[in-house]
């Protein structure tokens, strides 16, 4: 079994509605994101998934978040754009695109800062 991952990042603004503290005010983060694919077999080139393919798929969803006010995006109209919901948004967007007989999306890790974050493994 192989876990193949890429790291990327995006900048965005958000606020947490009805949050009892400073995060209720509009503010921004430079989120870091790690996407991991688990491969059970290698292809004829000796790869679980080509990094080029993984980066392209992840870039498509990151571009939907980068330099946006996340609260204005349709996905976040009825839920706070917390790191937890951001990780689920990324996961749900790319999961159908990363299915193969040999591999599947395993997890999405989102770092709000260098020292705090979370990992979402799907439903």
Ranges of beta strands (E only) in 15-98 are 27-39, 68-69
Helix 83-94 × helix 51-65 angle, to 10°: 130
Distance CA 27, CA 43 (A): 44
- Threshold 0.85, pTM exceeds: yes
Q: What is the pLDDT of residue 2?
A: 98
Mean pLDDT of 82-108: 96
Q: Give residue 73's pLDDT band: very low, low, confident or very high (50, 70, 90).
A: very high
Distance CA 36, CA 106 (A): 5
* Residue whose entry in the numeric block shows the structure tokens 């839920």: 79
Q: Which of helix, strand or coil describes residue 96?
A: helix
Distance CA 44, CA 116 (A): 38
CATH superfamily of 49-123: 6-pyruvoyl tetrahydropterin synthase/QueD (3.30.479.10)
Active-site residues, by number, are: 23, 67, 112
């Amino acid at each position: 079994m192989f876990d193949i991952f890429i790291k990327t990042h995006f900048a965005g603004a958000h606020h947490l509605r009805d949050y009892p503290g400073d995060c209720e005010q509009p503010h921004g983060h430079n989120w870091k994101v790690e996407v991991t694919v688990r491969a059970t077999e290698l292809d004829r080139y000796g790869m679980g998934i080509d990094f080029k393919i993984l980066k392209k798929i992840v870039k498509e969803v990151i571009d939907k978040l980068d330099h946006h006010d996340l609260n204005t995006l349709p996905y976040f109209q009825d839920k706070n754009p917390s790191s937890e919901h951001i990780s689920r948004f990324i996961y749900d967007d790319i999961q159908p695109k990363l299915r193969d007989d040999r591999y599947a999306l395993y997890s999405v890790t989102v770092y709000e800062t260098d020292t705090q974050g979370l990992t979402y493994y799907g439903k």
